[in-house]
Amino acid sequence: MKRIYIAGPMTGLPEFNYPAFNAEAARIRALGYHVENPAENPDQENGAWEDYMKMALRQMLMCDTVAMLPGWGKSKGALIEYNLAKSLGLEIWDANDITR
């Protein structure tokens, strides 16, 4: 079973874009995939961006596929995730294109 990590913009968006992350996670899970959703991670004590990224990158490294949400190209964190995934040879998909 593919293990899919969801990447996309969060910083500066209403509710950190969690509704989009959670909706996509539910949709992909319904297709039968295992999903790693950084929007489901616990809050960090100091809430620093770097701490969230460290947690998200560890999570992404357990996956073989990264699903990119709309707007990811304007996100510092999602660009880091994309470039790392590409460098490591992970599959990179547009989240909207994922079907069974």
Q: What is the 3-state secondary structure (H, E, C) of the chain?
A: CCEEEEECCCCCCHHHHHHHHHHHHHHHHHCCCEEECHHHCCCCCCCCHHHHHHHHHHHHCCCCEEEECCCHHHCHHHHHHHHHHHHHCCEEEEHHHCCC
Structural domain total, the chain: 1
- The domain in which residue 3 lies consists of 1-9+22-64
pTM value?
0.94
User: Is 92 part of any domain?
Assistant: no
Residue 16 located in a structural domain: no
Task: Look over the chain and give the mean of its residue pLDDT values, rounded to a whole number.
Answer: 94
pLDDT band at 1 (very low <50, low <70, confident <90, very high): confident
Q: With contact defined as beta carbons under 8 Å apart, do 6 and 35 qualify?
A: yes
Whether 58 is covered by a domain: the verdict is yes
